[in-house]
Amino acid sequence: MSRNNKDKMSNLIIIRRIWDHLSNRKKKQFIFVISSMLLSGIAELFSLASVFPLLSVIIDPYILWDIPLVKKIAIFSGIDNPSSLILPATILFILSIVTASFIRLSSLWLNGKFAASIGTGFSYQVFKKNLFQPYSVHILRNTSKIISSATSQIDLTVIAINLILQMLTGIIVALALLVAMLFTSKLATTYLIGIFGLAYILFIVFIKKNLL
């Protein structure tokens, strides 16, 4: 087994052990955090979709006006002219952008808070186990050094968990945007994926050559 595969297995084992040490309450909170990520992805999807009504109104208001549902809602709202759709389309676009940004920031805040709460729980367990050791054990070892080392490792664990959660959020949002782009134009999306994929591969190869 190569060194990279061993590192990946080691990381997976660490993640599994962290998960096993989480309380049921923390596991439920994790599900809530994942739900906020999904909500963030859906909000990004709607924010991207709200661009098309605005562009349609700017290019040709009758494109939207000819849609029966849009026309019915517009007439019910007191709008009887296709050109007047520019204001509600703009408001819809702004609201969707603001809402998506708020949900995204809330999701990132929840990620940080959840990671910090895990660190707090681990710190409590470490200090509790260390404090209730027999007196003979405290004499034989440097307690302050152990606590300092444990605190440092817990801080690194919190940072790693936060980065993993942020990565998951980014992946979910990216997938939501990808789905929206596929519905818009499959050909253009395929070209974009190919271009960015090739650029990413070239970047990785360049980085590896410089590091080695």
Helix axes 86-131, 3-21, angle to 10 degrees: 80
Chain-centroid distance of CA 121 in Å reads: 23
Per-residue model confidence as pLDDT tens digits over 125-166: 777 777 777 766 666 676 677 677 777 777 777 887 888 888
- What is the pLDDT confidence band of residue 190, given thresholds at 50, 70 and 90? confident
Examine the pLDDT at 79 and tell me if it is beyond 70.
Answer: yes
Pick the closest to residue 115 from 26, 40, 35, 41 (CA basis). 26
Q: Which residues contact 70 (CB under 8 A, 6 or more apart)?
A: 64, 85
Across the range 82-108, mean pLDDT stands at 85
DSSP 64: H
Token code pair at residue 7: 């590192």
pLDDT, mean over the chain: 76
DSSP 85: G
- What is the pLDDT confidence band of residue 210, given thresholds at 50, 70 and 90? low
189 contacts 178 by C-beta, under 8 angstroms: yes
Across the range 69-91, mean pLDDT stands at 80
Distance CA 70, CA 67 (A): 5
Distance CA 33, CA 29 (A): 6
| SS3 category, 152 | helix
Across the range 18-40, mean pLDDT stands at 82
What share of the chain has pLDDT > 70, as a percent? 76
- Residue 133's alpha-carbon distances to 25, 124, 150, in angstroms, are 27, 14, 16
Examine the pLDDT at 69 and tell me if it is beyond 60.
Answer: yes
Distance CA 121, CA 125 (A): 6
